[in-house]
Structure 1
């Protein structure tokens, strides 16, 4: 059974060193798991007994297409008005606890490993009916409509029900769990899970137009970000702008796995010169 790291908040003791792995520059950001403390938690309108940590938000000159949160809903908490933007699509991935998700009147009992896609304009609500907190990833993007292409439908699936696709020539050391068919052009974002066995690697610096939000679910690794090798572990978050070179190798002793966002399947927006 897979493990999914969920933050606990709190505050480091006065004796802890201030040096850490946190980085922010023109190409990438590393947000170590220890950065998610009580003093940087946020609240949202119409969410009861809920707090969240904002991992990524649209930021001019950096990554601009999405926002990503870690949300903690206490027992009895939740929202009947969760989304204020009618054009926002979303993915929810549960890390810990139980979440009752209602989509267009249909109830879904989510548990760790549950994945839900919510298209723009759908009616949904979320409640924690259990006694322990529910903690989940919430990714949001402004959906890019295309004339002649229908909106994608809402769906809920469990990770263990999806067979990972092995990358060619890796003997299973590197695989991807894809929740959406890559050829389905209704979707303008993919949120997948990338899996590495100990010693598995991305053996070249990937350099491409897609932006990334990477939340590390399990394990540890060395990650190449632009020109820097950074050691990362479960609970860390990486934020990569377009064309930032990236690679990694799983340093063990167990699997290394992360939830990854990328924008796909749409033309690049073109600037217009002033007339």
Structure 2
């Protein structure tokens, strides 16, 4: 959704554009605040074009981007208008000092492994020579060396075992065989994006946010799942493996609840 089709003097303000887009999307301030994590008083202030409560230009730009995405507006256009009305962005800091510091950093000294190996070999040879010329070496030389020793066969316990077959990864088609003792809800955005939320039977939030076109979400609970569709006609809905056709129209907000016995007729 764009807000730049009319002349500059006739365009709504940033706050008014965000407020109107939220109303058109059928969203409340509480729902937008939960989705964007922008506190409710700040959402109200921005919709009144009061950016003093944001805590600075950096936070104001971030709040404008988050609110614009939640209601379907172009964030870049609104941030550009904010910069034009509030003095623009600050100049970036040069990174030259950082690169200079990296260039003069000394290389760490590495251990000389070749010298260490040579010293170890010399020590082993010296020990063997000392042993051969000592009394223990003579006694050891008199003992016969066993020959033709039969090879040791590996016991059954040491034989390599056959690796277990890897378990197959679950696929999206598994929803067609949804378990009968649970409720399974799958939502796919096919005709555009939609704001959605899902809660379990205890009221705990499973997911909340914008489902972009082409994306899917699947939720499972042992008793009940409550869903909210901000753009019901754009979402393809499956409950317990069966498609729900009467989910609503494009642009319509729907609040639905399903249990493990639904739907009675698919």
- Does the alignment reach a TM-score above 0.5? no
Structure of greater Rg: 2
> TM-score normalised by the shorter chain: which range applies?
under 0.3
Q: 1 or 2, which has the higher helix percentage?
A: 2
Q: 1 or 2, which has the higher strand percentage?
A: 1
TM-score using structure 2 length: 0.21
Identify the structure with bigger relative contact order (alpha carbons < 8 Å, sequence gap 6+). 1
